[in-house]
Structure 1
Amino acid sequence: MSFERVLDVQLEAADLTFQFGSGIFHPEKVEKRYLKDICASLLDREAKGPDILYSIAMDVGKKDHFEDLRKRNLLYGIVAYNAGLIGNELVRSQGHIHAVSASCQSSTPEVYEIWQGEAYIYMQEFVEDLPGRCVAILAKAGEIVIVPPNWAHYTVNASQNKKMLFGAWCVRDYAFEYKEIRKRQGLAYYPIVEKGVVKWLNNSHYVYEGLEIKQAREYPEFGLSKKNLYTQYEEKMSRFEFVTDPLKYQRIWTEFQP
């Protein structure tokens, strides 16, 4: 499956920055995450790897939609991941939980779409001794993954040889919780590479409960199609209300399967 890009955004692979077309609004400065920023959640806190792990352009879209996205409290972000390894872990984020947003009085979901490369979206129910369900979803270019409210999660570049690029819808007044994750040296599993094969090593700071490894699926329960996420917003601008007002969709979230 390929990704049909409708936003005029190009990745400058050499330095993990972006070039934006004239019809696109975007942040003045791209945020970068460095190896030192995530070391507290790594299998080996002294591991060597790429200095810049990933770059983030939060709040991107077509200029025609600038006001509507603010009115809906909806935000689209684009993130580019470096290739390589951190010790023997794949390049990834440190992991976080979406904090309760004042706008909706709830933790909120995140809706990913892979633009380029392949990614694992890892998620678990709780950051406690018993982490509950632990799921790693492999997504390829053009595929979508939804992380439900309250679940801890991180994003992984599934390839050590190619850069990865994704976009995501989230609530505009987002905030992240890291404290408990850092105390436990990350989430319940580490994505490591042994002899060229991706394996998942359990974190001893949790009770082992098993990991589900899945392929990306479709989400008809939220009215999503196979089209790219931005086009789906353009076709029906209220489509991602389940992101900004998750309590309104509580029945679906209660029955949600990653």
Structure 2
Amino acid sequence: MEVFMSNPGFDVKIDTKNLELIYGENTFGPVIEKRRLDDIRESLLDYNAKGPDVLYGIAMHVGDKKDKQIIEEKNAVYAIVVYNKGQIGNEPIRSQGHIHAISKFSNKSTCEVYEILLGKAIIYMQESGSDDAGRCYAVYAEENDVVIVPPNWVHATINADINNNMAFGSWSVSDYKFEYKEVREHKGIAFYPIVKDGDIEWIKNDNYSDGSLIKVKAKEYPEFNITNKERIYTQFINNPDNFDFVANPDVADHLWREF
């Protein structure tokens, strides 16, 4: 067992060897669910690529027991995801990509607020799952960085360091569902991440007619009243109204239009 003290704002440890979470006495959370290589083959550059059987473990709706009521009142969930290290063929360990489904609370797709707890990540997002993917961003993020993915955008999470584990925490709507149909129809996201000489390069997916990739570093989000100087879990508990846009994207409609 290799244990990392993640300190996302409550008592939980990350077992990076087994891709598990160790909950403290006052922490609630489910048994972590494992995502396997065979689950994402349809979205890979090479369908037959070899790699670790388990790519990552995900636990939705975790937190401190004393905070559970306010989290549920805000129709939100905090998740922790622990990524394996290594490669899938020539690609880094990653998710297949999805869009957040329509939520019953807003009748709209919803956003996701990421925070990197361990290692280095690339949060990939594209404006559309249609043939024209629109604007595509590869957001390079390190520990403590925050990244927001807008509603309706396809997004995938990539471990940017093949030699080390990665973990992130995130806020999303409590009735979360993931839509994979458009991504799978295009055999993946619009740009495939490829490992070359220890770095990540990108290859366009020809199943899309158009799309432009922009590589950026994670930034601050003062317009959302969110900072990377404090854990997003703690920020939510201290100022839950600041995160109303997670379950109700309309409250930040003017910000999404300028995203």
Normalised to the residue count of structure 2, the TM-score between the two structures is 0.95
In 2, are the aligned partners of 1:4 and 1:142 still within 8 Å (CA)?
Answer: no
> Shift of the alpha carbon at 1:253?
1.1
The residue identity in structure 2 corresponding to 1:169 is W
> Shift of the alpha carbon at 1:101?
0.4
The residue that corresponds to 1:236 in the other structure is: 239
- Match for 2:252 among 235, 249, 252? 249
The residue identity in structure 1 corresponding to 2:244 is E
1:23 and 2:26 equivalent?
yes
Change (3 A) 1:5 1:102: closer
Identical-pair percentage: 48
- Match for 2:152 among 150, 155, 175? 150
> Shift of the alpha carbon at 1:208?
4.2
Give CA deviations for 1:31-72 in whole Å, capped at 9, x if unaligned: 000000000000000000010000001100110011111111
The residue identity in structure 1 corresponding to 2:38 is K
Superposition RMSD in Å: 1.1
Give CA deviations for 1:64-88 in whole Å, capped at 9, x if unaligned: 0111111110100000000000000
| C-alpha distance in structure 2 between counterparts of 1:75 and 1:209, whole Å | 32
- Map 1:89-238 to 2 at 5 A: 89-226=91-228, 227-238=230-241
> Shift of the alpha carbon at 1:183?
1.1
The residue that corresponds to 2:10 in the other structure is: 7
In 2, are the aligned partners of 1:110 and 1:148 still within 8 Å (CA)?
Answer: yes
1:38 and 2:6 equivalent?
no
Paired residues, what number?
Answer: 253
| C-alpha distance in structure 2 between counterparts of 1:66 and 1:4, whole Å | 17
| C-alpha distance in structure 1 between counterparts of 2:225 and 2:8, whole Å | 20
Deviates more, 1:40-49 or 1:123-132: 123-132
| C-alpha distance in structure 2 between counterparts of 1:6 and 1:149, whole Å | 25
SS of the residue 2:211 aligns to = coil
The residue identity in structure 2 corresponding to 1:239 is N
> Shift of the alpha carbon at 1:210?
2.5
In 2, are the aligned partners of 1:126 and 1:152 still within 8 Å (CA)?
Answer: yes
| C-alpha distance in structure 2 between counterparts of 1:202 and 1:178, whole Å | 19
Give CA deviations for 1:5-33 in whole Å, capped at 9, x if unaligned: 42211111221111010111111x21000
> Shift of the alpha carbon at 1:247?
1.2
The residue that corresponds to 2:3 in the other structure is: none
Which portions of structure 1, spanning 4 or more consecutive aligned residues, are displaced by more than 6 angstroms?
Answer: none
| C-alpha distance in structure 1 between counterparts of 2:104 and 2:198, whole Å | 44
The residue that corresponds to 1:57 in the other structure is: 59
In 2, are the aligned partners of 1:109 and 1:148 still within 8 Å (CA)?
Answer: yes
| C-alpha distance in structure 2 between counterparts of 1:248 and 1:6, whole Å | 26
> Shift of the alpha carbon at 1:207?
2.4
| C-alpha distance in structure 1 between counterparts of 2:201 and 2:84, whole Å | 19
In 2, are the aligned partners of 1:90 and 1:158 still within 8 Å (CA)?
Answer: yes
> Shift of the alpha carbon at 1:4?
5.7
The residue identity in structure 2 corresponding to 1:88 is N
The residue identity in structure 2 corresponding to 1:104 is S
